[in-house]
Amino acid sequence: MTLMRFACLAAPLACAFVADVAVATDWGRAGVTPSNAPASTLSPRSTSATPLKGEMRVSPGGLQLSGVKTNIEALSKDFGKFAGNAKAYEFMAGGIPEMVKQCSSKAYSVQDQAAAGCTANDTVAQCSSKLLKHCLANYKGNAISTDFGLPGRTNTGSVKVGFSIQEFQQSAAAAADGARALSQSLNLYATQVENSAKALVP
């Protein structure tokens, strides 16, 4: 029976100590110490391995794994609001030329001229301009002809304009404001997307 076997039988703790010494001796012969031993002999979660000396684990560090939150929900809401305002404006704008045409085809009495603000000192052009503005401002929503423009055929008909010039102007302002707000939201979203992409892919 060898000395080491005898030590193991006599005192297990001593055997473990002897075994550790033996392993350390073997590392020493190979030019390897526990501090620079191959990564596989270290703790599986060790991050102290030296580059090009053994296995390594990476750490996300400051990487934002969740990315950067964008304003996509607010952007969608702004777009929906803008789309509604824009469609209302486009519809009204499409009816204005016909309204002007009808106002221009009318004959205006002296009383009409006075109601529009014409004076004896006005030129014909000046009074005509006042009459047109007065007519549009007080437009009663007469039926106007329109072309629905279906592809491949002509589909004309008439529709009653149900808005005033004041409503048209309000619609134009709402569409313009909505476009500006949407533009700001789009610019913000563009910045957020770029930052998110950089955060997700280092």
Tokens 């030296």 map to which residue?
50
Would you say 144 and 99 are in contact if contact means Cβ atoms under 8 Å apart?
A: yes
What would the pLDDT profile of 91-104 be if each residue is shown by its tens digit? 999 988 988 998 99
Dihedral sign (CA 98, 104, 107, 113):
positive
Give the residue ranges of the chain where pLDDT is below 70: 1-49, 60-68, 140-162, 202
**What span, in angstroms and rounded, lies between the C-alpha atoms of 188 and 77?**
14
Residue 6, pLDDT score: 40
35 close to 27: Cβ distance less than 8 angstroms: no
86: nearest Cα among 183, 187, 5, 151: 183
CB-based contact 131:113 (threshold 8 Å) = yes
Return the CA Rg of the chain. Answer: 43
* pLDDT given for residue 70 in this prediction: 81
**pTM of structure:** 0.55
Q: What per-residue confidence (pLDDT) applies to 89?
A: 93
Q: What is the pLDDT of residue 9?
A: 42
Beta bridge partners of 80: none
- pLDDT of the residue at 68: 63
